[in-house]
């Protein structure tokens, strides 16, 4: 056995350990449900940044207006006064007159990340001390607020975040969703079980206003691409707990072409590389699908190569099933579990590119990532966009 063969075998074994622990972490997550105290319902301000018109936007927005919760405020915010999403928000405000709903239209900019600028513009109108940040392409059930707020019964909890279940249309979106449900969110569960999470997931972030103020407000993260990571990491560094809720939300994946998939995943991988460089390098320990295939090729189809590949792929598929189907109840993962190896190969290629790349395209803007994960505009930024 050559050094290369041994190295590939070690990487395969490491991946199998990761898959096994991912299964264990998923089962532990299923077995640990936060009790719901019906008498705990502090007032909440929901900040919802808007850019453009997502599919089924009305139903997404309306799901937040149908909460079985006594007191909450929703602030929709948009930068472009001609944004097509404004008409949908105005319809929502008209259809739910009994709720405290508000639309903020402002081009005020505090940094390179226009989504954060949008959040800051909305936050200036917030009435309550607990803020909930939710993307425009998220849909929730009527028990959402009552469930996600529960960890904040502990006054040391500064941030709560949620896993999400991809909603898709088309084969490209399905291909991306498989990677999200069975690999990315598996790594979130592993991090949650190993010790504690010190990051948040963008589709839903609940944050104490005191925790936000402790890190310097939205201004502190206005130049970062990974604003969701920072909204968990910085409060954790300030001494607040970050908790993963047991509530799973629905999150629409709007990817329609393979180019969109590559651009989106490249943006996420570069986020990780610039925010957590050692963690990015450590991802090689999780690509067992690829390293076992390379070992098979390198050993010329040996018994060792085939045995390692079968064991590694089997454990990868089992982890994908437990996380995607059992935890997330993701119909895409259940139907297209066999696509996992192809998804892993694509993600491995993007991961390799991430070591040399530093530029991204985001909402029509050309941006460059610099050390620490901050964004620098490298093209004409006169067109107003956000996410």
Mean pLDDT check: name the lowest of 218-227, 281-290, 354-363.
354-363
**Opening angle at CA 73, ends 71 and 76, nearest 5:** 160
Output the pTM of the full model.
0.90
CATH number of 38-268: 3.90.550.10
Q: 141: burial class by Cβ within 10 Å (0-12, 13-18, 19+)?
A: middle
Residues 9, 13: Cα–Cα separation, whole Å: 6
Helices (H), 111-226: 114-123, 144-148, 171-179, 185-194, 209-214
236 against 363, higher pLDDT: 236
Q: pLDDT by residue (tens digit) across 20-32?
A: 999 999 999 999 8
Q: Residue with structure tokens 């297209």? A: 336
**Opening angle at CA 80, ends 76 and 81, nearest 5:** 85
Q: Residue with structure tokens 């589709």? A: 203
**For residue 149, what are its two tokens?**
């707020």
Q: pLDDT by residue (tens digit) across 34-43?
A: 789 989 999 9
According to CATH, where is 3.90.550.10 located in the chain?
38-268
Q: Write down the pLDDT at residue 387.
A: 38
Mean pLDDT check: name the lowest of 11-25, 93-107, 175-189, 254-268.
254-268
Helices (H) and strands (E) in the chain, counts: 15, 11
Q: Tell me the pLDDT band of 347, cut-offs 50, 70 and 90.
A: very high
Q: What are phi and psi of 242, to 5 degrees?
A: -115, 130
């Amino acid at each position: 056995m050559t050094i290369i063969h041994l190295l590939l075998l070690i990487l395969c074994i490491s991946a199998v350990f990761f898959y096994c622990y991912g299964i264990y972490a998923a089962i532990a997550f299923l077995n640990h449900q936060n009790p719901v105290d019906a008498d705990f319902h502090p007032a909440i301000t929901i900040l919802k940044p808007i850019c453009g018109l997502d599919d089924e936007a009305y139903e997404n927005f309306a799901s937040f207006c149908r909460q079985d919760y006594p007191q909450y405020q929703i602030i929709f915010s948009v930068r472009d006064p001609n944004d097509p999403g404004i008409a949908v928000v105005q319809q929502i405000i008209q259809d739910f007159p009994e709720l405290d709903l508000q639309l903020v239209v402002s081009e005020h900019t505090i940094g390179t990340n226009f989504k954060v600028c949008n959040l800051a513009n909305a936050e200036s109108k917030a009435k309550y001390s607990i803020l909930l940040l939710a993307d425009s392409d998220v849909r929730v059930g009527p028990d959402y607020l009552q469930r996600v707020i529960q960890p904040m019964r502990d006054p040391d909890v500064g941030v709560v975040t949620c896993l999400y279940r991809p909603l898709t249309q088309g084969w490209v979106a399905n291909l991306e969703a498989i990677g999200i449900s069975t690999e990315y969110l598996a790594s979130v569960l592993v991090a949650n079980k190993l010790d504690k999470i010190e990051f948040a997931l963008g589709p839903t972030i609940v944050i104490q206003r005191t925790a936000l103020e402790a890190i310097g407000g939205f201004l502190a993260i206005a130049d970062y691409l990974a604003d969701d990571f920072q909204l968990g990491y910085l409060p954790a560094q300030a001494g607040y707990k970050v908790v993963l809720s047991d509530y799973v939300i629905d999150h629409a994946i709007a990817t329609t072409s393979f180019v969109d998939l590559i651009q989106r995943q490249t943006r996420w991988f570069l986020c990780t590389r610039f925010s957590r460089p050692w963690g990015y390098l450590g991802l090689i320990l999780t690509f067992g699908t690829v390293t076992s295939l390379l070992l098979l090729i390198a050993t010329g189809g040996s018994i060792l190569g085939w045995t390692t590949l079968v064991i590694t792929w089997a454990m990868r598929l089992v982890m994908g099933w437990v996380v995607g189907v059992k935890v997330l109840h993701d119909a895409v993962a259940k139907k297209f579990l066999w696509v996992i190896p192809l998804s892993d190969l694509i993600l491995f290629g993007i991961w390799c590119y991430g070591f040399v790349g530093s530029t991204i395209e985001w909402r029509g803007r050309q941006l460059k990532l610099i050390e620490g994960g901050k964004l620098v505009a490298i093209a004409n930024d006169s067109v107003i966009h956000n996410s």
